[in-house]
Structure 1
Amino acid sequence: MTMRTFRSYDPDELWLLPPSPRDWLPEDHLAYFLADVVEELNLQPILATYGGVTRGTAPYHPQLLVKVLLYAYAVGIPASRQIARKLEEDVAFRVLAANQRPDFRTLSDFRMQHLPALADLFVQVLQLCQRAGMVKLGHIALDGTKVKANASKHKAMSYGRMVTEEARLQAEVAALLKQAEAADARDDAAYGPDRRGDELPAELARREQRLETIQAAKAVL
């Protein structure tokens, strides 16, 4: 009987050249769009809080953290522990973070420390998406086609409508940030402030010991 031939598969194979993160996602992916939008925003209110010369370990760049958090909230991932896991496992998150991996506490602390500025940036992102005619941003409904059509027809939205729409977006952003706060509080209560909750037991964390444990378990089956 002829053996079936498969494509080469070696999980431990080393790559001669590191791949560019830009090759990991299609060009029209939401992560790239959101990254481009954030790069056009003024992050000075956040940057100004960092002071001068860094002593000790340099912090993660605020632009990285803003991109990651806003993308996570837009696609329905409010919990910092889930976001940290995505930074290890999800291509879009890894692209946004340039393969850096801030932990869940860093993400949570950043959100809490810069909550007003982050909320304002999120509203700006949604407004820009509306003006671009987008119907939604991830899971967030925008109805941008009507906004764009109205702006084209009347050159500018009426002041009253602008205020109403901005208030709606602010309320939506506030609700999303509240979800994030509640999710982190729930996870802190469940796992403690310093644990992510999905850690392997110590005896399974190292591959050599893990294989021994698996083989021993298999032997008694």
Structure 2
Amino acid sequence: MYINYNMDQLILPMDLETTIPEHHVSRTIHQQVEAIPEIDIQKWQTAEGRPSYHPKMMLKVILYAYSQGVTSGRKIASMTQENIPMMWLAGQQTPSYRTINRARISPHFDILLKNM
């Protein structure tokens, strides 16, 4: 007899947060980034072009990757699709490696890090 295995069946819970341990580093990063005042984030907003990823989400993704020893933009982008804590931090959004790299070199990103 085998344990039930059916990949075509929807399995609950669908909320990724429930699968992450209470004292996981991703939760600490989430709390620290969410503590950044929204006024500091609003300075980044522009009315031009395509809507961008939220700066807090990008910061969470990059900080978590760094905490795991991952610094490559392509590997960080891959983590947003394969790593459960990373998928939770990213809100299941998948920024490209180019977007991640652009965020890392942005002067706004440096200011945000210094204010943490």
TM range (shorter): 0.7 to 0.9
Which residue is 2:100 aligned to? 107
RMSD: 2.1
Query: After the TM superposition, which parts of structure 1 deviate over 6 Å for at least 4 consecutive aligned residues?
Result: none
Larger radius of gyration: 1
Inter-partner Cα distance in structure 2 for 1:98 and 1:110? 17
1:88 and 1:94 in contact (8 A); partners too: yes
Counterpart check, 1:117 vs 2:111: yes
Counterpart check, 1:32 vs 2:27: yes
Spell out the pairing of 1:14-29 with structure 2 (5 A cutoff).
14-15=10-11, 19-29=14-24
**What's the offset of the Cα at 1:49?**
2.5
Inter-partner Cα distance in structure 2 for 1:91 and 1:8? 22
Check 1:60–1:81 CA distance in 2 against 1; reply closer, same or farther (3 A cut).
Answer: same
Secondary structure of 2:93 counterpart: coil
Give the TM-score normalised by structure 2: 0.84
2:40 and 2:112 in contact (8 A); partners too: no
1:46 and 1:117 in contact (8 A); partners too: no
- CA deviation vs aligned residue, 1:135-155 (integer Å, no higher than 9, x gap): xxxxxxxxxxxxxxxxxxxxx
Which residue is 2:85 aligned to? 92
1:72 and 1:78 in contact (8 A); partners too: yes
Spell out the pairing of 1:40-189 with structure 2 (5 A cutoff).
40-42=35-37, 44-51=39-46, 53=47, 55=49, 57-114=50-107, 115-121=109-115, 124=116
| Aligned-pair identity (%) | 29
**What's the offset of the Cα at 1:12?**
2.9
- CA deviation vs aligned residue, 1:82-132 (integer Å, no higher than 9, x gap): 1110000001101111111111111111111234224414xx3xxxxxxxx
Secondary structure of 1:93 counterpart: helix
Higher relative contact order (CA 8 A, sep 6+): 2
- CA deviation vs aligned residue, 1:41-71 (integer Å, no higher than 9, x gap): 23644531322x465x421111110111111
Inter-partner Cα distance in structure 2 for 1:43 and 1:109? 21
More helix by share: 1
Spell out the pairing of 1:173-212 with structure 2 (5 A cutoff).
none
Aligned pairs, number: 115
Gaps of 5+ in 1: 125-221
- Tell me which amino acid in the other structure corresponds to 1:87: T
Give the TM-score normalised by structure 1: 0.47
